[in-house]
Amino acid sequence: MKSFLGIATVFFLCQTLVFAQSKIGGEDFLARLNSDSSAQVIDVRTLEEFSAGHLPNARNVDFKKEDFLKQMEGFNKEQPVMVYCLGGSRSAAAAELLASNGFTQIYDLEGGYMRWTVEKRPVDGIKEVKEVVVGMPVDEYETAIKSDLPVLVDFTAKWCAPCKAMYPTIRKIESEFSGRALVKVIDIDVNKTVTEHLGIKYLPLIYLYKNGEIVWQATGAVSEKTLRDAITGQLQPVVDTGAASSSGQF
C-alpha cells in the first residue's frame, strides 16, 4: 500500500510539473501578453543583454545569479509567468526551477529573444545605431570576399536587437584588425539581393571568409574573444626579417 501511495505521489508531482510549464511559440506568446493583463514577463538574461533591448513590460531577473529564486519571491505564483532568454536554454532551465518551486503557470518562449526579433515582434529599449552600415550588390560582395585578407561579414538589421548589442564589438574588432582583416556590415533589409543570394534567414549571422571561401561562421550573439580568435586563426604569421638577418650574422 505504501509503495502504491509513493508511486501515486511521484506521478502526481510529475504531472503537476508538466502542466505548470509550457513552451510556446512567438505568436502564442504575444497573444497571451496582449490578452492577459496579469501576465508577468520575466527576462532571465543578464542586465547587459536586457539593456540592449527586451520584450515590452519585461522585468529582468538574471537566472545565473545566486539570488534568482529570492528575487522571484516578489512575483505571484498563481498568475502566469512568461519567461524568455536569448535562445531558449536559460529560460527552459528557469521554467523548470520555477515549476518545482510552486509557480503554477509558466510559459517559456520558444526560440527566445533571438527568434522573437527575427520575426519582427515588438521590443522595447533598443538604442538606434547611428553609424551607417556598409551595403553592396552581389557582384561587389563576391569581389570583396575574395580579398587576400580575411573578411568578416556581419549581417544585421535595424529590428535585430542582438545585432545592435554586438555592433560596438564589431567596430572594435574592425579597428583592432585594421590593415590585417576587412570587416563588412550588411543590412539585410536594404541589401535584399545579397541576402537572397546567400539564403540568409536568421540573425545575428557572421561569416568569415578567406580567399572567397567561408572558413568560419556563427549564428547568434558572439563574444569579442570568439571573433578575435576566429580572425587571428586566419592571419598569415608575421616574419620578423630584422631578427632573421641578425641571427644570420652569428
Residues with catalytic function: 160, 163
Q: Please check whether residue 181 is in contact with residue 150, taking contact to mean a CB–CB distance below 8 angstroms.
A: yes
Q: Is 153 helix (H, G, I), strand (E, B) or coil?
A: strand
SS3 string, 202-246, reads CCCEEEEEECCEEEEEEECCCCHHHHHHHHHCCCCCCCCHHHHHH
Q: What is the DSSP letter of 65?
A: S
In angstroms, the first-to-last Cα distance of the chain is 91
Do the bridges between strand 151-156 and strand 182-187 make them parallel or antiparallel, or are there none, so unpaired?
parallel
Rounded to whole angstroms, the Cα distance separating 188 from 66 reads 39
- Which CA distances in Å does 153 have to 41, 87, 97, 208, 229? 34, 22, 39, 6, 15
DSSP 73-109: TTS-TTS-EEEE-SSSHHHHHHHHHHHTTT---EEEE
